[in-house]
Amino acid sequence: MVPQKSNLPDADAIDTLEEIERKVLWLSSWLIHNANHIRPSRDGLKVGGHQASCASAVTLLTALYMSVLKPEDRVAVKPHASPVFHAIQYLFGRQSRDQLERFRSLGGAQSYPSRTKDADDVDFSTGSVGLGVGATLFGAMVRDYVRLHGLADEGEPNGRIIALMGDAELDEGNVFEALLEGWKHDVRNLWWVIDYNRQSLDGVVHDYLFQRIKDFFGTVGWNVIELKYGKLLQATFTEPGGDALMNWIDTCSNQLYAALTFQGGSAWRTHLKADLGRTKGIKALLDDHDDDALHRLMTNLGGHDMTATLEAFDQATDDTPQCFVAYTIKGYNTPLAGHKDNHSGLMNLEQMAAFKAVHNIRDGHEWDIAEGLGIDAEALQAMLDGVAFNQRAPATPVAKVPVAALPAPEGESMSTQEAFGRILNDLARDDSDLAARIVTTTPDVTVTTNLAGWVNQRGLFHHEELADLFREEKVPSAFKWTMGPAGQHIELGIAENNLFLLLAALGLSDRLFGARLLPVGALYDPFIARGLDALNYACYQDARFMVVATPSGITLAPEGGAHQSVSTPLIGLGQPGLTSYEPAFADEVALIMSWGFGHMQADDGGSVYLRLSTRTIDQPRRTDFSAIAEDIIAGGYWLKTPSPGAELAIAYTGALAPEALAAYEQVLEDIPGAGLLAVTSADRLYADWQSGDQGHAERLLSALAPGAALVTVLDGHPATLAWLGSVANHHIVSLGVDRFGQSGDLPDLYREYGIDADAILDAAAAALTKRQRKTGGARLPLAAE
């Protein structure tokens, strides 16, 4: 493709961009230096920061932010280039000096770009390498979803989504999982700019990686643009000996290239002389360049040459996804350049003094924007004020979608999973704004998580209308699988990482694309672990979504251990930004879902995790549900209220309600005042208890006698509820699953893992015995007695 010169800045503008590039290199290096060497340390720990990784990305990020980006474009910046991003925002007046001076200290600029903690409008948080890259792909998908559903403001330009990524991020499998999904969904207007410095943290990347990148990306329909040589090298290649020199560079191993870069001009000379000394033109070339000039020439890679970089970006003329492989040098233009251990390396005091002299920075003027540049301060400011990206307005909050109470599905007996499916099925018939804003997604488990009713009515999302050929061919099936731009279900392949990255992007749609979506993602509970880092990443960004994890626990009985989740309730309890619930009955599911859709939109809200089950259980006939509704949301309610001062209560969660109820009924014969506590959210109860005031758990448990016996039981790790004993110093025995599950039927498995009614009775006896030793009172015979 021929570069369209008309879009490129003229020579003067490029000179200015190069000045700014030098300033960005200075500021990003200095702010790290300041944090490590100037700011007093109170704990003696190295503050860190990545001067070499930053230097590598300076040209690319300067070109993007200062020339290429439009305000509507969204960018994920590789984690360790955070100082470069902050330095650029500082030049724009969007980041304060105070924040830069406090880099990596409390309240200052974050070590890695953070949507929630940084003050300068980060689009995508990054930190766990690979995830920010994947998130941009799903961001592009969500942007198209919003546009095709007509949810964006009229005339809102269609921004590009861009990742500036490290080359080693390509080692993360999630990047390739995302690529494949992007191909299926025909993702558009997406750029990945690879900072191809051929170094990672420990090592140097494989020599032929570039070829593989070309193949991978080409296979999934991307255009790959190689940005290899700068203008100096390009010019030299046209001169005598140029072909040989180019061939020498092309075949030079990454390790040798990096080593020579570190050593400098005389080392280049020695090697070139030895290898090409007899080639016509090379001698003259070597004679014409002193060591400094030779070093400058040999390190003039495309990703450090402003003109070459802008030309490369200018080649992307349509909405085909673009991968730019920008050759760079880790630590370029710093003393760290090319050294094999430079990832965490920092310039020492002498090196910084020399660096400062090169940048013409006077003591005390380190933060001055125009200091040491060849342009005058006013002209610089005028230029910065006029940059297209710098016209970006702050995001304005998007209106909330009203959430009416969702009616509970009716039935004598039902599983929580069935209730979930029926609630969405009913919603699908609704023409409410709520139903219009819900987007569902699963990693290939739509039918088995009960979403088919919803999908049959609302359809699958795709850029183009695609018919359900099984249906057209009259192959009988209860499921309609028609796709089109109006569809509200995004079907993913089996990759839970992709699910959570898509939920992250959908759940930021209000802030990234100005349109509120209410994403609901369903998966099997055990496979939360498969995408856990992406789930954590989504929560870290404050994306808002509902995860419905079903089935869960050993209750999945015959399916066996590999599908049985044990520790997910602890994830629900421990994961910031995610409030978890494990309801037992259909009316609880409906209530929690309507609360959840509100919580997902609340300013101080968050995401919601529902741990559900396929076990069909009898539903209670409640006459006054509204009396317990608030308690259900607060995390627990008395299914059977204890008499004042009761000596025993059984607390259960989720699908074990029938076992708890059976045990409770037997206990009543000996302890008539005992209570049965339904814990709908250990997470809410715990957070509330820890918040200091008299919390809901304290209020509930205050009904019991001091030092009463308490048995807790759930189909998950017992530690989830074991802390309840500390709330009011009750004698507690906690039942649950703390070993891998296995195949079996429910009676066998519940007995084997000690969570059936007999086990609950035994636990009640043991808890009462503990209590009796201390305080006297009732006893229950142990089964063995």
Q: Which residues bind ligand TPP (CB under 6 A)?
A: 53, 56, 78-80, 128-129, 166-169, 195, 197, 199-201, 330, 343
Question: How far is CA 213 from its chain centroid?
Answer: 24
Of the ranges 5-13, 189-197, 344-352, 447-455, which one interacts with Mg ion (CB under 5 A)? 189-197
When the beta carbons of 163 and 548 are compared against ligand TPP, the nearer one is 163
Other C-beta atoms closer than 10 Å to the C-beta of 220 total 17
* Alpha carbon separation from 58 to 22, 26, 571 (Å, rounded): 8, 10, 39
CB of 175 to ligand TPP, least distance (A): 11
CB of 210 to Mg ion, least distance (A): 13
Q: Does 166 bind Mg ion (CB under 5 A)?
A: yes
- Of 111, 126, 197, 299, the one binding Mg ion by CB under 5 A: 197
Of the ranges 154-162, 193-201, 459-467, 709-717, which one interacts with Mg ion (CB under 5 A)? 193-201
Residue with tokens 């030098």: 22
HEC string for 546-570: EEEECCCCHHHHHHCHHHCCCCHHH
CB of 167 to Mg ion, least distance (A): 4
Q: Does 583 bind Mg ion (CB under 5 A)?
A: no
When the beta carbons of 78 and 422 are compared against ligand TPP, the nearer one is 78
Inter-residue contact 425 to 457 (CB < 8 Å): yes
When the beta carbons of 169 and 510 are compared against ligand TPP, the nearer one is 169
Alpha carbons within 13 angstroms on the beta-carbon side of residue 248 total 20
When the beta carbons of 51 and 579 are compared against ligand TPP, the nearer one is 51
When the beta carbons of 164 and 452 are compared against ligand TPP, the nearer one is 164
Copy the structure tokens of residue 435. 């139903």
Distance from C-alpha of 586 to C-alpha of 615, rounded to nearest angstrom: 12
Q: Does 718 bind Mg ion (CB under 5 A)?
A: no
CB of 201 to ligand TPP, least distance (A): 4
Indicate which of ligand TPP, Mg ion, none lies near residue 169 (CB less than 5 to 8 Å, by partner kind).
ligand TPP
The angle, 0 to 180 degrees and rounded to 10, between the axes of the packed helices 349-358 and 11-33 is 160
695: Cβ contacts below 8 Å, ≥ 6 apart: 685, 688, 689, 727
Strands (E), 157-213: 161-166, 190-196
Which residues share a beta bridge with 547? 521, 609
CB of 529 to ligand TPP, least distance (A): 16
Which residues share a beta bridge with 490? 441
CB of 412 to ligand TPP, least distance (A): 49
Which residues share a beta bridge with 648? 709
When the beta carbons of 79 and 372 are compared against ligand TPP, the nearer one is 79
Indicate which of ligand TPP, Mg ion, none lies near residue 718 (CB less than 5 to 8 Å, by partner kind).
none
- Of 167, 314, 510, 582, the one binding Mg ion by CB under 5 A: 167
Of the ranges 194-202, 338-346, 397-405, 421-429, which one interacts with Mg ion (CB under 5 A)? 194-202
End-to-end CA distance of the chain: 86
Indicate which of ligand TPP, Mg ion, none lies near residue 321 (CB less than 5 to 8 Å, by partner kind).
none
When the beta carbons of 25 and 721 are compared against Mg ion, the nearer one is 25
* Alpha carbon separation from 168 to 4, 194, 300, 497 (Å, rounded): 31, 9, 22, 18
Sign of CA dihedral 2, 387, 57, 212: negative
When the beta carbons of 189 and 498 are compared against ligand TPP, the nearer one is 498
Indicate which of ligand TPP, Mg ion, none lies near residue 316 (CB less than 5 to 8 Å, by partner kind).
none
732: Cβ contacts below 8 Å, ≥ 6 apart: 709, 710, 711, 712, 722, 724, 725, 767
CB of 114 to ligand TPP, least distance (A): 14
CB of 171 to Mg ion, least distance (A): 10
Task: Region of 635 please: left (phi>0), alpha (psi -120 to 50) or beta.
Answer: left
CB of 55 to ligand TPP, least distance (A): 10
**Binding region for Mg ion (CB under 5 A):** 166-168, 197, 199
